[in-house]
Chain A
């Protein structure tokens, strides 16, 4: 089982739609959780950190469920510019070392 798993998609949605991505992680000792956005052939950039109580940033809402070991990202009122790959990133301890572990990403295409 992969340490961090995401549905690769692609998710093709019309402009204005609401779309949700989930990500599961295997290490229950994981400490920090993030969603990154990556445009084609570009570097990943932080979209938002995910806090235990859930957090919102404009049209984006992130949730963490420690009991079920998954995090989610909800995008409301999708824009064409939201088209990208969304990476789930988990930070936790493995063999005494803290490291960032990346999911393979979920591709989103927002269609006009």
Chain B
């Protein structure tokens, strides 16, 4: 089954304790992205990756890191979480077209609800 898998789905942690949210897709997609969703603000892009070893900042990258060592995995790292990073996080992936334009459907993981105390 084609899917994007995120872990953990729920996490409560404390300020400053490093954590990683994993994301894996089995569709051989080049494009992967992380979003956070907060009430009234919609989905905001944190980081994205156009392919292996190619990552770039989205709209709200502060406090986050990512890596893309393999095509299928795109982990999100919070080196020193703070309460303002309490949010619902989504990983998504998409196929790039031959023209290198992103025109395809974005597939989302089920989301990771993070609470930082």
Query: CB within 8 Å of B: which residues of A?
Result: 31-32, 34, 36, 41-46, 49, 87, 89, 91, 97-100, 102-105
**Does B101 lie within 8 Å of A98, measured CB to CB?**
yes
State which of A32, A36, A103 has its C-beta within 8 Å of the C-beta of B103. A32
Tell me how far the C-beta of B95 lies from the nearest C-beta in chain A, rounded to whole angstroms: 12
Pairwise interchain contact A34-B105, C-beta atoms closer than 8 A:
yes
Interface centre among B45, B48, B56, B102 (most CB of A within 10 A): B102
* Chain A interface SS verdict (over half): strand
Specify the chain B residue showing the minimal Cβ separation from A32. Answer: B103
Contact residues on B (Cβ < 8 Å of other chain), bracket: 20 to 34
Query: Which residues in B have their C-beta under 8 angstroms from that of A34?
Result: 105-106
- The answer to whether B102 touches A99, judged by C-beta atoms less than 8 angstroms apart, is yes
Interface flag for B75 (CB, 8 Å): no
Known: A41-B111, A98-B102, A99-B45. 5 other contacts (CB 8 A): A34-B105, A42-B110, A91-B102, A98-B101, A102-B42
Q: Is B33 interfacial (CB-CB < 8 Å)?
A: yes
Contacts of B105 in A (CB 8 A): 34, 46, 49
The answer to whether A104 and B109 touch (CB under 8 A), given A32-B103, A98-B102, A99-B48, is no
